[in-house]
Amino acid sequence: MVDRLTSLVFPYSGDDLVQIDVGACLSPDTPFISEDFDPAITNIGPKFSGLVNVRANSESYEDLERVDAILVWNMAKPSIVSEAQQLGHRYNAEVVLIDPIRVQQETLDAIRFAYSLWTADELKQLVEESYIKFEQHAARWQGKAISAFGNGPSLGQVVEDEIDLGPSVKAICNSTIGDANALNFLQPELLFCGDPVQHCGVSKYAGQFRKGLAAALSNSNRVLFTQLGYVPYFRFVTPPDCHDRIVGIGNDRRPSFNLDLRSEFLTAATANIFTMLVLPVACTVSNDIQIFGCDGMAYSDSTKPWAHSNEDDYMGRMSVTHRVHEGFWQRNYEEEYWSYCRDLSELLDSAEQQGRRIQVRTPSFVPALAKRFVLA
């Protein structure tokens, strides 16, 4: 959104205001960020040169001709939020709360705000471009069997044992994109991701994921599917020769799942990438779908996060996101897991009613998957 900004005003309450050198703060040569953050962020700083205005918090805002939005990134004091709301009322400006400690998905809220700066025609063009790319790429998979892989612990066993997967087209998601062993064995063509914190956030882990994504996309046979709103973001963090292979799909709240993206280029918004993107895309191009690595968990364990393939390494690298996006992890995992199980049941029932064959090839605690388990 930087090209759409005219000024960023930062109220500052310290007594060393005159010593602040904005140019130095924005320079990649003198980065002022903690080690928890993706160092690539410093390369973005110069893009904001000339836009940043740091001023004493005690100053009046009367000299500002207009304020279009107020971003509150520290809600520690109620008075700060109150002041922001008063300014918002005075200038008829949007107030966006993006405190990473107190807001669960502050990154998602920031991205939503960025799109408020787009015109309707620009958004329409983004949709049309993604649909054209979807049709171009989907044609080569049409009618072929799809093997879709979650990143549960059984995925590691599939890779280690080199299970024969047949001639199916492979689809992977999330952390598997950065798993060199899985990539080498599976040779996937479909990649799925789009987490606002773990993939599009500012942490060192997110930065490592983005590097892994760019490396995975160096294979010209691979196509990335993500939420429509993340397309410009992933274009920015990947080489230009990848951009025609990044496809964004819109989503909204709806009572049923759309399993034919050619009839409507939208999916049902859910909290899990498998139900929101992986399976709708797979069902659009294939009637024969095999599922691996979606282990789930016993309901008694659903008060804690998911388990993953290469668990020790994954959790060790991802732990930094708990510090950078503290609010994101204040989640009701029991509710998330229950919703995931319900969504999978409805989606798979619908897929089978429409004539698709669904086989689950690794054991799962998820009821809808367990009852479709087929022993290899």
DSSP notation for 308-346 = -TTHHHHHHHHTHHHHHTGGGG---HHHHHHHHHHHHHH
- Residue tagged 């709708």 (tokens): 280
DSSP E strand stretches across the chain: 8-12, 52-56, 69-72, 94-97, 146-149, 169-173, 190-192, 223-227, 246-252, 266-268, 288-292, 357-360
Instruction: Considering only CA atoms, give the Rg of the chain.
Output: 22
> Using a CB cutoff of 8 Å and minimum separation of 24, what contacts does 226-231 make?
226/192, 226/193, 226/194, 226/277, 227/194, 227/251, 227/276, 227/277, 228/126, 228/127, 228/130, 229/111, 229/112, 229/115, 230/111, 230/194, 230/199, 230/200, 231/126, 231/130
Instruction: Give domain 120-370's CATH number out of 1.10.1220, 2.60.40, 3.40.50, 3.90.1480.
Output: 3.90.1480
- pLDDT at position 318 is 72
Which is nearest to 278 in space by CA: 161, 188, 342, 213? 188
- DSSP label at 292? E
Q: pLDDT 10s digit of each residue in the chain, 376 long? A: 888 899 999 988 888 998 999 999 899 988 788 899 999 989 889 999 999 999 988 777 778 888 999 999 999 989 889 989 999 999 999 999 999 999 988 888 888 899 998 999 999 999 999 999 999 999 999 999 999 999 999 999 999 999 888 899 999 999 999 999 999 999 999 999 988 888 888 999 999 999 999 999 999 999 999 999 999 889 988 999 999 999 999 999 888 999 999 999 999 999 899 999 999 999 999 999 999 999 988 777 766 655 655 655 555 677 888 888 887 777 777 888 889 999 999 999 999 999 999 999 999 999 999 999 998 6
Domain with CATH 3.90.1480 in the chain: 120-370
Residue 330 confidence (pLDDT): 77
- Does residue 1 contact residue 68 with C-beta atoms inside 8 Å? no
pLDDT of 186: 96
CA-based torsion, 357, 358, 361, 363: positive or negative: negative
The reported pLDDT for the residue numbered 274 is 95
| The pLDDT of residue 255 | 86
Backbone angles phi, psi at 332, to 5 degrees: -95, 90
